[in-house]
Structure 1
Amino acid sequence: MHRILRWWIEIVCPWERQTANGQRNGNRSFLEEEGCLVIYVGIVNHEEELSLLLRRVLAETMSRLGKSMGCFSYENSYTFLNEWRRGQRHFDILLMNVSLLEEGTLEAARQVKEAFPDTEIVLLAKNDNLALQAFQLGVRHYLLLPTTEAAVKEAVLRCVFGMEGNWQRKILVKSGTTWQLVPLAELEAVVSDDHHQILCLTGGRELEVRLKMSEIQEGLAGRSPFHFLSPGRGTLVNAEMVDSFDASEVHMKSGRILSVSKRRYGEFKKEMESLMAD
């Protein structure tokens, strides 16, 4: 019987032992109401000595970075995939030893990257035969075994910095009692609704958040690769997702239709024309 080993590093949030058992919201890390970000790490490895090294370096590195982490270990890629496919675990970082089941581990990495492209993956192998395939899959780092503490630390740091780069393309919002990171690439529009804001996301999804419109605009300013413009009071639209517009309506590429105010139409038209000219 394959063992699934679970252990926690309580660095920032002492309450994570209770809260992290819940369902994770979306594709990324789950943020509780208190605002603590938990980084979920998965280790797929059958060598006890290597597992001890990985755990120690992860704990020390996350502690120095001030991160809170939940970590789950699996003895091989099949055990990992069985649980991952059930949707019980979404990982931010995966450390995977391919020396036991090469094809199975590569397939597991491929499936994870297809479902969650932002997941940071480190492969550990006894030779570089799979390096090209690994990097074609989008693996962040490839470590040769036996490895060293310094090499593992470098790989973990690269993963964390890669994650933080992804977070810069997201906005942190509060919905109900939880905090969520919303990818800006999925944000079509923001519409005010009686002291609440509705985030209109791709695929027809909507998310109600308890933030002021000014707070959302401040969160988007200077960090978004997209241009969010206002066609009317209480409305922001992602200009890159606009299909067409006139003096009364903005038609989004998704089919969503939003109103344009007479007062804002002239300025909105100029802003859209300027973007199209660029």
Structure 2
Amino acid sequence: MLKIAICDDNAEDSQNLKKRLESILNLENIDANLLVFSSGEQLIAYMQTSGVMPICFLDIYMKEVSGVDVARWIRQRDNTCTIVFTTTSSEHMAQGWEVGASHYLLKPFTENEVKEALTRCLRLVGYRGKYIELMVNRQPRKILLSDITYVESQNKHCLIYTSQNEELRVLIRLGSVEELLDDARFIRCHQSYIVNMDFVENVQEGDFVLPNTLVPIRRKNRCDIIRYYEDYCIEVVRRRV
């Protein structure tokens, strides 16, 4: 699980950042452990025993040990950690770039600004998200869950459709794919189909409406399936609040 540090001696600011990060991580279905530290000394003590975390959000203006001091300590031991400085002023930005800061967040920040910072960090640490690995054209292929729009069964094969308009043919039963896709966003809506509800735009009679295609919903338990989808949508909205 990805570890992310939040270090700020202002409890209200750190909880605000944690809440925004949690919302983004939940929406993106990213498994991460957010660890909050109230001082630079506390964070350094933790990393001395547990190692440097890949992503650190550091408040610049902290008593005793500042965010820049923590960043310098990190850089003496690790060049790959992505550091985001949170601050009320751009006054010390030059120092931040000197220690290899990846991003700045000026308080008060919006969720979109936090998402931009987090997205950059994830890209820099090489985080690709949850995936399944299958043999495609006799070659192992890692397929991101977030890229799969739906899966269709065809005899002993499955066709996996992606958001990049790929059609991946895999020698595997749909039941086995269902077990691999152990994630809340996927539902087996038909004997021959599994759909990623993040790509569903609407429900039309007996089908889920996806971009440029329809995925059928089986008649048996159709109301339950649609209700499950509606509950999923409500949960997604709730996470954004």
Using the size of structure 1 for normalisation, the TM-score is 0.43
TM-score scaled by structure 2?
Answer: 0.49
